[in-house]
Amino acid sequence: MSRTSRKEILPPGFKRDVAIQFIAHENSFFAFATQFLRENHINSMLLSGDDSEQILSQIARTNADVTFISMRGNANSLEFSRKVKRVMPQTHCVVYVDPEDFKLEYLVNFNISAYLSSVDLSLTEIVLCVETLTDGYRYIGSQIRESLAKVNEFEFDLTYQGFNLTKQEIVILNLLAKGLRSKDISDRLFISQNTLNNHKTNIKSKLNLMSNREIVFFAMRNGRQPKNIQIENPDV
C-alpha cells in the first residue's frame, strides 16, 4: 500500500467541488483516503460492509461524481458496479481489480470509467484518476496498462483485410486495445486531440462501427500494430 505524503499529493487546480465516495469490503486504506480528502475540503464518504443492498440504498441518497469500488474479487467488483450505475447513472465508476486477472473484455463489457490496481493501493493514483475523469477522459491505472501490454499479443495485420486503414489508424487501434487514454495517444503520436478524433471518425466509417467503445472492442478482437509499422509523427 502506498501512502504518499499529504503535503505533495494534491496538485494545484484540483477540482475541489467534486464529490467522491468509496465502497469497500476492507476500509483501512479507504478510510485514510477519505480522511485525507476531507482534510483538503473535498466532499467524500466511505461505505463498507458485506450487505450490498444496504450500501445501494445508502448511495441512492447521495450525488457522488466519482464512485470507487473495491469488493472481494474482480467479479464481485464488476457486478457491483452494474448495480451502482443503475442506482446512480451519472456517477463515474472506478473499479479496483487484480492486474493479473484483468481481461480485455472488461474495457467494453462494463460501463466503467476507470480501472485501478487492487494490489498496490495508491492515494496518488486516486487523485490522478479523479483529475482525469473530471477532465472528460477514461483512466486506466499504470499496473493495469502493463498487464494489458503483456496479454495483448495479436499478430493480425488489419491492412490485409480490405479495410483500407492507414498506418496511423492501425497504430491508434493498437494503442486503444492496450487501454491507453485519448490524451496519452495524442501525446505519444504528437497529434492534437481534434486530429485524433478525426482519425477515430475515419476508423468508424471504414469499419462500419458506431461508437468509440466498438472501436476498442474491434481492436482487441482483431489485432495490434504490425512489427513493420512505426509510430509516425505526421498525420496520415
Concatenated DSSP letters of 121-153: -BHHHHHHHHHHHHTT--EE-HHHHHHHHHH--
For the chain, the domain total comes to 2
141 in the same domain as 108: yes
Q: Look at residue 166 and tell me if it is in a domain.
A: yes
Q: Is residue 230 part of a domain?
A: no
Q: What is the pTM of this model?
A: 0.65
CATH number at residue 210: 1.10.10.10
pLDDT at residue 128, as a whole number:
87
Residue 214 lies in a domain: yes
Task: List strand residue ranges (DSSP E) for 2-125, in order.
Answer: 20-24, 44-48, 66-70, 92-97, 114-117
**Cα–Cα distance measured from residue 56 to residue 62, given in angstroms and rounded to the nearest whole number:** 10
Categorize the per-residue pLDDT at 92 as very low, low, confident or very high, splitting at 50, 70 and 90. Answer: very high
Where residue 25 falls among pLDDT bands split at 50, 70, 90?
A: confident
Contact 10, 127 (CB under 8 A): yes
Shared domain check, 194 and 142: no
Can you tell me which residue has the cell 467524500?
44
Query: Does residue 99 have a pLDDT over 70?
Result: yes
| Chain centroid, CA 168 distance in Å | 23
